[in-house]
Amino acid sequence: MPKAAHLVGAISSVSVLLKDLELFAMIYHYGSCGIAHLLSAFWPRERYNSDWTRRSAGYRRIHQLALAGYLRVQRLPALSGIGSGPSLVSLGSKGMSALSEYLGVARSELRRQLRVIESPFPAGHHLAACDVRQAIELACQRSQVVDLVDWVRVPPLVKVEDPAALPLLPLPPKIPLLPDGEFALAFRGGSAAYRLEVDMGTIPKRLKVKLRGYLAYAHQDDRVVLWVVPDAQRLQAIASWAQEEAQRLGLDPTLLWLTTRDQVTPETVFGPIFQVVGGPSMGLIPQELFASPPPLQTDRFLYPTLRGEVKPWRY
């Protein structure tokens, strides 16, 4: 047998471990994700020690599973049109078969949940939403007092009548609201539910309409809307637009919380990193829950525990 054929045969017969099945399950629940998300979840110590060099065990295993047909790694073009952009990791045919048996879920359902994205902008948006989700999940895993109760990756579409429409119109235009995710946290003494919007810094006019829609819909759903934006300049712009719309319509803007993407990490996501429009800086949970750090656990990687006190707001 030629050497190359022997190598392909060895790769295609790779043994699937329980860790691999959990990795497949994460890809399924995320709809697809980036290589860095998998490394953070399953090889966190490598990130701490070597910053995930391509010779690390995590990279080697993902590459091996991709060559064997269990994973599908899709390299997208860059937004600038020069060079390559992000990579999306989804399940290959063998991965879907293995996960279908492991979870007891039909392959058709797995295909329905997995996202195939060919354009770099939607891919960047999806990966940014994955960043936020993983930061919250890892923070919950390392916490002694917070549980992630639920995460809805594709919430139901809601259409709200535009309160700024002309009153004489027979059919007032509707504003579609489709968050990038919904989730709920449970902690000692209470719980909190949130909607997530990941902003990529585009089209101010469309964003103003969406802000107006969330403000108008608050009488039916007053859950906080978390806005994760590219930078501080964009944060200030969105806060200003939200204030303008709230004042024009006589509505309360404090269900809109804003932060920048660089502040959303497993170490900081429960801290007071969100600026409430028309209110104080807030965290996702009451900060007194983090007055004392949890005991060090040597069987998993832990980041430093946050400390701080803020006045509870909407808990």
Are 206 and 79 found together in one domain? no
Q: Which of 83, 118, 153 is the last residue of a domain?
A: 118
Are 75 and 170 found together in one domain? no
Q: Report CA 19 to chain centroid distance, whole Å.
A: 22
Are 113 and 208 found together in one domain? no
pLDDT higher than 80, residue 294: no
Kindly state the average pLDDT of the residues 260-276. 94
Q: Which of 118, 138, 159 is the last residue of a domain?
A: 118
Are 299 and 214 found together in one domain? yes
Burial status of residue 299 (CB atoms within 10 A of its CB: 0-12, 13-18, 19 or more) = exposed
| Residue 92, domain CATH | 1.10.10
Kindly state the average pLDDT of the residues 260-268. 94
Are 109 and 251 found together in one domain? no
For residues 91 and 152, what is the distance between their CA atoms, to the nearest angstrom?
20
Neighbours of 81 (CB within 10 A): 8
Domain of 223 in residue numbering reads as 119-315
Are 242 and 184 found together in one domain? yes
Are 111 and 210 found together in one domain? no
For residues 115 and 290, what is the distance between their CA atoms, to the nearest angstrom?
36
What is the Cβ-side half-sphere exposure of residue 225, based on CA atoms within 13 angstroms? 29
Tokens 């309160």 correspond to what residue? 163
18-30 vs 57-67: helix axis angle to the nearest 10? Answer: 80
Are 235 and 189 found together in one domain? yes
Are 128 and 253 found together in one domain? yes
Residues 6 or more apart whose Cβ sits within 8 Å of residue 143: 270, 294
Out of 211-215, 279-283, 301-305, pick the least confident.
301-305
Q: Which two tokens stand for residue 222?
A: 């007053």
Structural domains counted in the chain: 2
CB 283 within 8 A of CB 252: no
Out of 19-33, 194-208, 288-302, pick the least confident.
288-302
Dump the DSSP string for the chain. Answer: --HHHHHHHHHHTPPPPHHHHHHHHHHHHHSSB-HHHHHHHH-HHHHHHHS--TTSHHHHHHHHHHHTTSEEEEEEEPTTSSSEEEEEEEE-HHHHHHHHHHHT--HHHHHHHS----SHHHHHHHHHHHHHHHHHHHHHHH-SSEEEEEEESSPPPEEEE-TTS-TT-SS--EEEE--SEEEEEEETTEEEEEEEEE--S--HHHHHHHHHHHHHHTTT---EEEEEESSHHHHHHHHHHHHHHHHHHT---TTEEEEEGGG-STTTTTSS-EEETTS-EE-SS-GGGGSSPPPP-TTS--PPPP---------
pLDDT higher than 90, residue 270: yes
Task: State the pLDDT confidence band at 171, using cuts at 50, 70 and 90.
Answer: confident
Are 151 and 50 found together in one domain? no
Are 8 and 139 found together in one domain? no
Task: State the pLDDT confidence band at 66, using cuts at 50, 70 and 90.
Answer: very high
pTM, rounded to two decimals: 0.84
Torsion, Cα of 97, 22, 33, 263 (10° steps):
170
Q: pLDDT value at position 293?
A: 41
Task: State the pLDDT confidence band at 131, using cuts at 50, 70 and 90.
Answer: very high
Mean pLDDT for all residues in the chain: 83
Q: Which of 118, 142, 177 is the last residue of a domain?
A: 118
Are 18 and 29 found together in one domain? yes
CB 196 within 8 A of CB 153: no
